[in-house]
Homo-oligomer: A and B are copies of this chain.
Amino acid sequence: MAKQNIFDNETFFEGYQKLREREMNANNLFEIPELFRLLPDLKDLRILDLGCGAGEACMEYIRMGAKEVTGIDISEKMLEVAREKNSDPAITYICMPMEDIGKLEGGFDLVISSLALHYIEDFKGVVNNVNRLLKEGGRFIFSQEHPVVTCHSDTYGKRWTTDENGLKIHVNLANYGKEGERDTTWFVDNVKIYHRMFSTVINDLVECGFAIEKLVEPLPSDELLQKYPDYYDLFHKPDFLLVKARKS
């Protein structure tokens, strides 16, 4: 099974860095705040971050009281940035594809993953390993692109239908029921993501021994819409799905 590492592609890396540096984007406004809202008290917890990237969140978990954080990422380039900018004696960065986490020692209280799991073909394999790495009662909290987002492929045509002023009217939803690989353009062509239906995400978690505690499909508040009216389009197509599950 291919382990995709777009983050070591130069064009992608530069575009991604710029995106993350901008103060306001959908990640900063919706995904990250909602992910942090799902977190339990981190005091003295051992945390594993799957797809930690440049390690910003790992550092934040330490500030919030975590005892130890292990951050894994497939991209050595991202981990170089992490080691330079977000280093701490309690953080260990490991270059490793998410598919290989079975090699890690277990005993984690919490496994977190932000917007990385939709790059993974064998979701259930990862979920199964996460379950084994967690202590009894430990939690798996993750975000991914929303299933009505991951179902799209550039080969299907345009994602949106717009009016004559370019205003988004509706999403062109097709092939939601066809799971598997999709090609999308994100800074570079042919970024591969893997589409799974809502039911597959939930059933895989349940079958691997997780109890679903909460789902979040983030939407903009009225206050946020006044500042950033463009984000109204999230009502048509929520960008993210967040899941909080407990090893049961």
Contact = CB atoms under 8 A, between A and B. Distances in A.
Given A177-B235, A236-B175, A213 B217 contact: no
Q: How large is the interface on A (under 10, 10 to 19, 20 to 34, 35 or more residues)?
A: 20 to 34
Copies of this subunit: 2
Contacts of A212: 202, 206, 211-212
A236 B169 CA distance: 18
A171 interface: yes
Contacts of A213: 206
Contacts of A161: 161, 172
Interface string A205-246: 010000111111101000000000000001111100100000
A174 interface: yes
B172 A172 contact: yes
Contacts of A177: 217, 219, 234-236, 238
B217 A197 contact: yes
A217 B20 CA distance: 35
6 contacts: A175-B235, A177-B234, A197-B217, A199-B215, A211-B248, A212-B212
Interface of A: 148, 156, 161, 169-178, 197-199, 202-203, 206, 211-217, 219, 234-238, 241, 248
A123 to B, nearest CB: 15
B199 A216 contact: yes
Contacts of A237: 173, 176
B178 A174 contact: no
A169 B175 CA distance: 9
Given A211-B211, A212-B212, A236 B174 contact: yes
A103 B216 CA distance: 33
Contact of A176 (B211, B216, B238): B238
Contacts of A176: 148, 235-238
A141 to B, nearest CB: 14
Between A156, A173, A203, A206, the greatest number of chain B beta carbons within 10 A of the residue's beta carbon is seen for: A173
Nearest to A213: B206
